[in-house]
Structure 1
Amino acid sequence: MTESKITQLQPLPGDWQRALAVVAHPDDLEYGCSAAVAAWTDAGREVAYVLATRGEAGIDTLDPAVCGPLREREQRASAAVVGVGTVEFLDHRDGVIEYGTALRRDIAAAIRRHRPELVVTLNHRDTWGGVAWNTPDHVAVGRATLDAAADAGNRWIFPELVEQGLEPWNGVRWVAVAGSSSPTHAVDAAPGLDRAVRSLLEHRTYIEALTDQDPEAYVRDFLTETTTATGKRFGGTPAVAFEVFGR
């Protein structure tokens, strides 16, 4: 088998109607996969966002009490650009999210509320590939999301959720991990790329604290480079990559 055949990415399965994206912070999805989200909502699919934190510890020059509400507003505006109207926050503390049953329970509850066939999250591995270290928040939320996809379907793991009116949902068919160093599938990014740029630009306060570069140039360069690089493994079409776990 040739190397080119080994590394080619497959199209993400499309026979689903509802997706739930679960990440740690505002902007995680915009850096990771919003071009794919735009394509999905254009096709009439339902996508909801759940964020573990409000990103309140993300800007050094802003007190968390000021930063959290600001980043929440930016996230809601960002989601709206790509057709997502439902954005929920679990109110775990930014920077110190703990993997464990409390986090799994919160995410399982969200899965039961939204009843998706596809769950999306961000890289749960220790690195972004090589020596680029991942953050503890991303690792905790990504791993908990993979676990909660199964927890959501088992009434005996968190029986208190049933008492709250959240019946088990065993309908998750795939968990798709964006930003993985071991991707298996991809989604055409070309139709949604301009909206992905505008979506990430809604996080202007964060971006201006992150770089001295012009925000629009920074965002467009970043998303163009990442989708173009992925496209080399997807028939030359700009793409968003995912590592897909079937259930």
Structure 2
Amino acid sequence: MINTQPFLSAATGRVLAFAAHPDDLDFGAAGTVAALTKAGVEVQYCIMTDGDAGGFDDRDPAETARLRHLEQREAAAQVGVNTVHFLGERDGFLEPSHHVMKQVVRLIRQVRPSIVMAMHPERAWDRLQRSHPDHLACGEAVTRAIYPAVENPFSYPELISEEGLEAYKVPWLWLYGAPKERENAFVDISSFLPQKMQALRAHFTQHPDVAAMEKFVTAQCQENAQRGGLGENSYAESFHAVAVNADDTIAGF
């Protein structure tokens, strides 16, 4: 089990958090993000698709995408995030292609974060809805980009020659929405649960029953806290934290 407390300080530097759709980060990591920004950490979001296939009415997909951009910016503001990048991929068609990976590499080299967050690339069979194909593609694209492409100057060399974006070694990858057997890091968000809920409420096009959503999220956060050993009156978010470039990492291993 990884002690997450040392990461919740300004010394962490920057965090870049990826999601497949607007609202994914708010379900998976908004409480942790609120704790990070409260501690002085700069967090930026990158949403890979426009969420144009989401919702529960016959609204035009272009209008859905416009609304979901607005919703995500409002949700981000609720937890202290000022910068939201949108890759503009089509909802339901995200793939870990070189087109997507190059965009991920570019952004990571621009931001140079200490922690990258992304959705988990492995399917969780206990709750299949967590493993939407776009979720898996988000995790796979980011994981492939982090190693080796972000740190390899020969990957997408035009990013250096044309844009001046030098190779960069990412220290940590935190994956949310992981199968439970992969989880090794739990963040106590008890003080930040109201902010997480406010962020989720901002996605008004996605919640036909807000009360049911809040009940479900609260129960999940309580269960996370129990599995993380944080106590029955606590709330937590869970991650599969991977040390990409640790003190003992050597080239290629």
TM-score normalised according to structure 1 size: 0.89
Does the alignment pair 1:160 with 2:154? no
Q: Which residue of 2 aligns with 1:58?
A: 54
Q: Which residue of 2 aligns with 1:183?
A: 183
8 Å Cα contact 1:189-1:240 kept in structure 2: yes
Distance 1:166 1:242, change over 3 A: farther
Distance 1:238 1:59 in 2: 28
Q: What does residue range 1-247 of structure 1 map to in structure 2 within 5 Å? A: 9-12=1-4, 14=7, 16-59=12-55, 61-126=58-123, 128-130=124-126, 132=128, 134-150=131-147, 151-181=149-179, 182-208=182-208, 213=209, 215=210, 217-234=211-228, 235-236=230-231, 237-247=234-244
8 Å Cα contact 1:49-1:88 kept in structure 2: yes
Distance 1:158 1:245, change over 3 A: same
Distance 1:131 1:88 in 2: 28
Q: Deviations over 1:78-134 (max 9, x none)?
A: 0000000000101111101122211111111110111101000112112x2336262
Identical residues among aligned pairs (%): 33
Distance 1:238 1:74, change over 3 A: same
Query: Residue 37 of structure 1: CA displacement?
Result: 0.4
Distance 1:18 1:74 in 2: 23
- SS of residue paired to 2:125: coil
8 Å Cα contact 1:117-1:171 kept in structure 2: no
Distance 2:81 2:60 in 1: 28
4+ long deviations beyond 4 Å: none
What residue ranges of structure 2 are gaps of 5+ in the alignment? 245-253
- SS of residue paired to 1:26: coil
Q: Deviations over 1:164-194 (max 9, x none)?
A: 3242342411110111012011111112110
8 Å Cα contact 1:55-1:67 kept in structure 2: yes
Stretch of structure 1 that moved more, 141-150 or 164-173: 164-173
Distance 2:195 2:15 in 1: 19
Q: How many residues align?
A: 232
AA paired with 1:184?
N
